[in-house]
Structure 1
């Protein structure tokens, strides 16, 4: 497995006007704040958008972004397997915002109160604590709940994927609007 090319925050900022920026986070995360001019194509829809991304890549360099760089790295690998060169943003939108660069939000979009990573940490911690408490107070078998979450976290770290995030992304508060993939692909065709 090859490592995708990475653009640093400052290089991306100075080149933003000449890049096609694709944000592969969920529509809810995208609405919470994204790089200026970014287009939203959630990671689970990236294969459907391949022809249009390929078309855009013929005209401009493609930068793939997500919250921290994990999903964008996966998207870059999918694109590379299909002959499309793309770079990922080092540290993702979190690093972009951390150095003081602004994030854009769709008009009327409510700011998400918690990012996906924070939701995963909260959910994992709650389930582990619940498993321990129920294991002490009700029946020791409930401790397997904590063990399952611990195993899932180890698997997540080893594979650089997160099943819990995939499940949480489907909750209504993380999907305030569907990604308008058709409109996004039209924009890509024009670039």
Structure 2
């Protein structure tokens, strides 16, 4: 019988830093590739939350597996998925990479990486909706259609998991992977 754990054992940034220095931990970043490329903890493996259910347990169950994301919410979800699948010795980085950075520990990533794709989508969608509403009230009520169209696109993205705006933004030059 599998039991569900609703609270994960948290590991602090300092404890994780010490474990990484001793090479006694498997560190998994459950954020999206663009977030990982922007900044990640050195030594972390990337496995986005959507792919966590495909992970196999490490060879040695004695090796702690530490999960992290931006703030700790997605890694908590990953923790629950893996715990249900029988993973042992799981930990969740308290406060995510935000807390890691606040503690002054090193991160790797592109120094000139753009803001995350999700934030870009939020900025563009918010700007289009706000512009549509303002222009609808001041110039022509037809501009309300713009706000409705963007809102419908966001609803579609949430329901389907496919965001057309994100796909368009990924084609911009600063969002393309740079060759080294």
Scaled by the length of structure 2, the TM-score of the pair is 0.70
- Structure 1 equivalent of residue 134 of structure 2: 133
User: Which of 1 and 2 has greater Rg?
Assistant: 2
For residues 110 and 19 of structure 1, do their structure 2 counterparts lie closer, same or farther at Cα, with a shift above 3 Å needed?
same
Q: Secondary structure at the match of 2:123?
A: helix
1:67–1:4 Cα change, 3 Å: same
Cα deviation for residue 4 of structure 1 reads 2.2
**Counterpart among 99, 102, 108 of residue 106 in structure 2:** 102
Q: Does 1:55 align with 2:58?
A: yes
Q: How does 1:151-170 map to 2 (within 5 A)?
A: 163=158, 167=163
- Output the CA distance in 1 between the equivalents of 2:48 and 2:175: 13
The structure whose RCO (Cα within 8 Å, separation 6+) is larger is 1
| Alignment check: 8 A CA contact 2:70 2:95 kept | yes
Pick aligned residue for 2:91 from 87, 91, 107 = 87
Instruction: Give the paired residue count.
Output: 161
Contact 1:29 1:112 in 2 (8 A): no
SS in structure 1 of the partner of residue 53 of structure 2:
coil
The residue number in structure 2 matching 1:11 is 15
Kindly report which structure 2 residues correspond to 1:138-153, keeping only aligned pairs within 5 A, or say none: 138-139=140-141, 141-142=144-145, 145=148, 148=151
Instruction: Please give the TM-score of this superposition, normalised by the length of structure 1.
Output: 0.67
Give yes or no for the alignment of 1:25 onto 2:27. no
C-alpha separation between the residues in 2 aligned to 1:22 and 1:62? 7
Work out whether residues 134 and 142 of structure 1, in 8 Å CA contact, stay in contact via their aligned partners in 2: no
8 A Cα contact 1:27 1:40, kept in partner: yes
Q: Cα distance 1:70–1:169, how it changes in 2: closer, same or farther (>3 A)?
A: farther
Equivalent residue number for residue 52 of structure 2: 46
User: What is the aligned-residue RMSD (CA, Å)?
Assistant: 3.4
Higher helix share: 1
1:24–1:40 Cα contact (<8 Å) kept:
yes
